[in-house]
């Protein structure tokens, strides 16, 4: 080891605090960059595996294929695997679920059977053995078990004298009769009778959906058939749409197909081009801000180090060290600090993301229905590591190159940073008036020594930008979540029957369970409004509904007098605000629109043969329990029960709705599902909290992760600021000692530091806040491709950044200056930093 390397190590040891802060900056930057890669890998892998479990590990499915077409697909160079089943037909079974009266008998390929989740028994080994679904037992009260021998009459379904294609597991058609859902009767055209031995039970398969009329059962396909339903995996999932179109073009005839978009989402593929065009800019914005932040933090560390060692470099040069040796000295320091920081940063990233996945599993696994799997994708780790190595090398090389060019005498004297121009530097009069001679001195020093101050301002600037960028992301995540979170209640119950019976059933719910919030709609109806004109409705809304004539159906919601009077004393309300999703070419966009052009209307409602006039006012606020109506295209009108029964003269059976929030909503749901409540009316229910748990908890997980990133990027920025300010103060020890020697008092010293703190804070905010708003605008512009939204300015985060900037600067400068205030002036004037 040469003498310069030994001196470098000695410098790092003697300046432990600065070395430690530099290492911490590299640790945090490495942990953030590698952590993002690990997090992306973990989320994508976990979500993809869950999607595979639910929707199958295929990218596209084809229905009713011929044998030769199946062979063409299997031999396609872009296809990695083909699974298929041969549909034999349907057999009738006694069912407790009116919507699932059939078993759908199929013969699967070995690949398809191997993809199933066996609960009990084994896979079929021939076409005489059968694998049944656990849904058959649960939903159809079937007493079938492994080892049973069964004989089925199998055929195609006949609806209205029309035979349905057995390749499709169609849902039952239905209709409403007196507010009761009735499923239409079907017949089976039997064309096959077959005996099977049940050899196994399988969990619900990804090849059937909730609405399918037949519960699937599988035997093994051993012979050629006329029709095949194939499930295809491509070697390159991102080219699914291109490969699918190529296959469709070579098939002998037109067939039905469906792209498994639920899987492709996690490969970054969407058939909607504007979604793809939105994701990439958002990723680029986030990664660019993080990358620039890391670059500045690391560069500042080495720039400060080079500044501290400038006099040392001058001495080295004066005794024969070459510029090349000076560069090697700085790069050697970068190697030591970088190696330690990167290694600890990688360990920190692995530990951090692993702990995050454990926390998410602990908090959300039950609600999500699956666990996050800690996953490592080498590509997501190697790229950040290469980035960090390049950043550290460049951050060290540039200051080293600059330092090596400074002449030994200038470097030893240490006066090259202060630029004295022929023109006298004058401080504005208001600075001298407010801060006195101390402010005047500080201002002139700032003007003459711009390099050192620029580093501090840049550190503060990037901290402001990183903090506000990620809080902006969080604001848009919260805003965007409104477009998928259609409901603001835990459980909704629909009652069909007489008014008195409905009242009794609702009274039972309210008296036996603790409801924190509830709203009751007496009835939901769809009458016609006969006097709306195009001038009454906005162009955006007309585009959604295709306005043709004056007779427009509306959602008429009748609330109890008690609930209605809490909202308004008007005769009727019209909900003015809607979220509408429009599909145009290859785009899907959600727009937030207003429906009406005026504030109030005299509306003519047609009820039966009669027309009634109501005075209605537009309403722009959300109403608890009715949020989902904002996402429906029909106009929504709300009236009270007094208006409904007295003015509109409604009589007869009603369909009433009760929505509620309760800590016991799961218990209520289970009690109704298990028929432990004897209702007088027919009741159906829907629980957004249960049915949409995956979506809501995924949004919650994203929010938690974004808060984590905000904390981490803020820590990186704060570390850089503290490092920069402390070092700058330490480098000015001789300057401060000189000022104190000519009479600068402690009070004056504080005034000088306060002025500099104010200067740093204001200058960084002047640059930081506009850049933050510009990035916010770019985020809004990208999101606007998918969800129409206005730019959201988080005034609270801007205020926090203003307060925190001044707080950090003042605390850092006071902390750094305490030691200087206690120092002996002569010792400080004589001290050399070698």
Burial class (CB in 10 A: 0-12, 13-18, 19+), 485: middle
Residues 54-86 pLDDT 10s: 888 899 999 999 999 999 999 999 999 999 999
Q: Give the whole-number percent of the chain exceeding pLDDT 70.
A: 79
CA distances in angstroms from 565 to 168, 571, 624, 649, listed in the order given = 50, 10, 14, 20
Between residues 81 and 789, the one the model is more confident about: 81
Lowest-pLDDT choice from 389-398, 507-516, 589-598: 589-598
pLDDT for 719-760, tens place per residue? 667 766 766 666 666 777 777 777 777 777 777 777 777 777
Query: Is the model more confident about 53 or about 690?
Result: 53
Over range 132-143, report the average pLDDT.
65
Whether the pLDDT of residue 413 is over 60: the answer is no
Q: Is residue 411 pLDDT above 60, yes or no?
A: no
Residue 179 has pLDDT above 50, yes or no: no
- Residue 696: pLDDT band (50, 70, 90) is low
Give the sign of the dihedral formed by CA 459, CA 463, CA 466, CA 468: negative
With a cut of 70, say whether residue 667 has pLDDT above it. yes
pLDDT, residue 830, reads 59
Cα 774 from Cα 790, distance rounded (Å) = 14
What pLDDT does 834 receive?
A: 38
Compute CA distances 673 → 101, 632, 687, whole Å: 19, 28, 12
Out of 442-446, 568-572, 822-826, which region has the weakest mean confidence (pLDDT)?
822-826
564-567 CB contacts, 8 Å cutoff, 24+ apart: 564/638, 564/639, 564/640, 564/641, 565/640, 567/619, 567/623, 567/638
Burial of 386 (C-beta count, 10 Å sphere; 0-12/13-18/19+): exposed
Q: What percent of the chain has pLDDT over 90?
A: 11
Q: Rounded mean pLDDT of 354-364?
A: 77
Q: How far is Cα 212 from Cα 207, in angstroms, rounded to an integer?
A: 10
pLDDT value at 403 more than 60: yes
Residue 133 in tokens: 């679904």
The mean pLDDT value for 305-325 works out to 71
Taking residues 600-618, what's their average pLDDT?
85
Residue 724: both structure tokens together:
């920069």
pLDDT over 60 at 421, yes or no: no
Give the pLDDT score at 408.
Answer: 61
Q: Is the pTM of this model over 0.75?
A: no
Q: What is the pLDDT of residue 708?
A: 72
- Token duo for residue 629: 């109506």
- 423-459 per-position pLDDT tens digit: 566 667 777 777 777 777 777 777 766 666 777 777 7
Using alpha carbons only, how large is the chain's radius of gyration in Å?
Answer: 36
pLDDT band at 826 (very low <50, low <70, confident <90, very high): low
Provide mean pLDDT across the span 209-213: 80
Q: Which of these, 340, 329, 404, 300, lies nearest to 11 by C-alpha position? A: 329
Per-residue pLDDT, averaged over 225-243, amounts to 91
Average pLDDT, the chain: 79
- pLDDT > 70? residue 520: yes
Poorest-pLDDT segment among 23-32, 319-328, 463-472, 814-823: 814-823
Q: Range with the lowest mean pLDDT among 170-179, 199-208, 521-530?
A: 170-179
Mean pLDDT (whole number) for 670-683: 82
> What pLDDT score does 88 carry?
92
Q: What is the mean pLDDT of the segment spanning 555-577?
A: 88
**With bands split at pLDDT 50, 70 and 90, how would you rate the model's confidence at 95?**
low
How high is the pLDDT of residue 642?
A: 86
pLDDT band at 833 (very low <50, low <70, confident <90, very high): very low
The pLDDT tens digits of the residues spanning 11-25 come to 777 777 777 877 887
Range scoring the smallest mean pLDDT among 278-287, 394-403, 510-519: 278-287
Residue 22 pairs with which residues in a beta bridge? none
- For residue 291, the model assigns a pLDDT of 78
Query: What single DSSP character describes residue 537?
Result: B
Q: How far is CA 262 from CA 53, 376, 623, 787, in A?
A: 11, 22, 32, 20
Q: Over 60: is that where the pLDDT of 711 sits?
A: yes
Tell me what pLDDT residue 60 has.
Answer: 93
Comparing 212-226, 414-428, 518-532, 572-586, the range with the smallest average pLDDT is 414-428
CB 497 within 8 A of CB 681: yes
Residue 805: pLDDT over 60: yes
């Amino acid at each position: 080891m040469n003498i310069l390397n030994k001196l470098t190590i000695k410098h790092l040891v003697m300046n432990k605090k600065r070395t430690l802060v530099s290492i911490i900056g590299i640790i945090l930057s490495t942990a953030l960059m590698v952590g993002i890669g690990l997090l992306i890998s973990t989320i994508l892998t976990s979500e993809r595996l869950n999607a595979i479990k639910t929707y199958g590990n295929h990218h596209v499915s084809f229905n009713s294929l011929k044998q030769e077409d199946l062979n063409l697909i299997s031999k396609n160079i872009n296809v990695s695997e083909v699974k298929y089943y041969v549909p034999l037909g349907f057999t009738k079974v006694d069912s407790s679920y009116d919507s699932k009266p059939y078993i759908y008998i199929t013969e699967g390929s070995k690949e398809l059977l191997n993809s199933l989740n066996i609960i009990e028994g084994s896979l079929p080994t021939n076409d005489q053995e059968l694998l049944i679904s656990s849904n058959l037992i649960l939903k159809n009260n079937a007493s079938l078990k492994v080892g049973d021998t069964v004989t089925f009459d199998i055929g195609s379904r006949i609806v209205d004298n029309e035979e349905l294609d057995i390749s499709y597991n169609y849902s039952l058609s239905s209709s409403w009769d007196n507010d009761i859902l009735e499923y239409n009767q079907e017949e089976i055209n039997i064309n096959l009778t077959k005996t099977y031995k049940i050899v196994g039970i399988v969990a619900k398969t990804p090849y059937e959906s909730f609405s399918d009329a037949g519960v699937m059962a599988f035997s093994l396909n051993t012979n050629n058939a006329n029709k095949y339903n194939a499930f295809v995996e491509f070697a390159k999932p991102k080219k699914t749409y291109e490969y699918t179109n190529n296959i469709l073009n070579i098939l002998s005839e037109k067939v039905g197909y469906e792209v498994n978009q639920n899987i492709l989402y996690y490969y970054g593929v969407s058939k909607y081009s504007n979604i793809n065009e939105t994701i990439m800019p958002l990723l680029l914005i986030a990664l660019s801000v993080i990358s620039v932040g890391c670059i500045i933090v690391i560069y500042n560390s080495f720039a400060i180090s080079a500044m501290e060692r400038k006099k040392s470099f001058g001495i080295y040069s004066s005794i024969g060290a070459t510029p090349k040796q000076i560069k090697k000295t700085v790069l050697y320091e970068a190697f030591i600090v970088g190696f330690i920081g990167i290694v600890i940063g990688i360990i920190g990233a692995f530990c951090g993301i692993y702990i995050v996945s454990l926390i998410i599993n602990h908090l959300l696994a039950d609600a999500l229905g699956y666990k996050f799997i800690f996953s490592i994708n080498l590509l997501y780790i190697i790229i950040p590591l290469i980035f960090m190595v390049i950043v550290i090398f460049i951050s060290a090389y540039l200051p080293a190159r600059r330092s090596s060019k400074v002449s030994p005498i200038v470097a030893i004297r240490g006066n090259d940073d202060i630029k004295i121009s022929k023109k006298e530097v004058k401080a504005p009069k208001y600075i001298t008036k407010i801060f006195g001679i101390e402010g005047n001195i500080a201002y002139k020093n700032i003007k003459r020594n711009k390099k050192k101050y620029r580093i501090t301002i840049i550190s503060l600037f990037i901290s402001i930008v990183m903090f506000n960028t990620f809080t902006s992301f969080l604001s848009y995540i919260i805003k965007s979540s409104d477009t998928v979170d259609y409901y603001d209640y835990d459980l909704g119950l629909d009652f069909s029957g007489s008014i008195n019976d409905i009242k009794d059933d609702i009274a039972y719910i309210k008296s036996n369970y603790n409801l924190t919030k509830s709203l009751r709609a007496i009835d939901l109806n769809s009458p016609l409004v006969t006097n709306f004109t195009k001038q009454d409705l906005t162009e955006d809304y007309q585009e959604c509904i295709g306005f043709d004539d004056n007779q427009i159906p509306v959602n008429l919601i009748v609330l109890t007098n008690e609930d209605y009077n809490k909202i308004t004393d008007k005769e009727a309300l019209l909900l003015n605000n809607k979220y509408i999703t429009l599909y145009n070419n290859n785009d899907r966009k959600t727009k937030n629109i207003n429906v009406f052009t005026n504030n109030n209307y005299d509306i003519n409602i047609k009820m039966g043969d009669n027309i009634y006039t109501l005075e209605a006012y537009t309403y722009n606020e959300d109403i608890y329990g009715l949020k989902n109506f904002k996402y429906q295209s029909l106009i929504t009108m709300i009236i009270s029960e007094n208006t409904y029964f007295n003015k509109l003269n409604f009589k007869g059976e009603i369909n009433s709705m009760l929505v509620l929030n309760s800590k016991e909503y799961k218990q209520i749901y289970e009690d109704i599902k298990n028929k432990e409540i004897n209702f007088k009316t027919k009741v159906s229910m829907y629980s957004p909290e249960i049915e949409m748990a995956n979506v809501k908890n995924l949004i919650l997980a994203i929010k938690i992760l974004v808060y984590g990133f905000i904390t981490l990027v803020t820590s990186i920025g704060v570390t850089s600021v503290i490092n920069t300010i402390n070092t700058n103060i330490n480098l000015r020890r001789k300057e401060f000692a000189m000022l104190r020697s000519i009479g600068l008092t402690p009070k004056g010293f504080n005034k000088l530091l306060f002025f500099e703190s104010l200067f740093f804070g204001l200058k960084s905010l002047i640059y930081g806040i506009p850049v933050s708003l510009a990035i916010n605008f770019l985020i809004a512009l990208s999101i606007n491709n998918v969800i129409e939204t206005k730019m959201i300015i988080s005034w609270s985060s801007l205020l926090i950044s203003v307060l925190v900037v001044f707080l950090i600067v003042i605390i850092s400068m006071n902390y750094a200056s305490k030691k200087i205030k206690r120092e002996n002036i002569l010792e400080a004037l004589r001290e050399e930093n070698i």
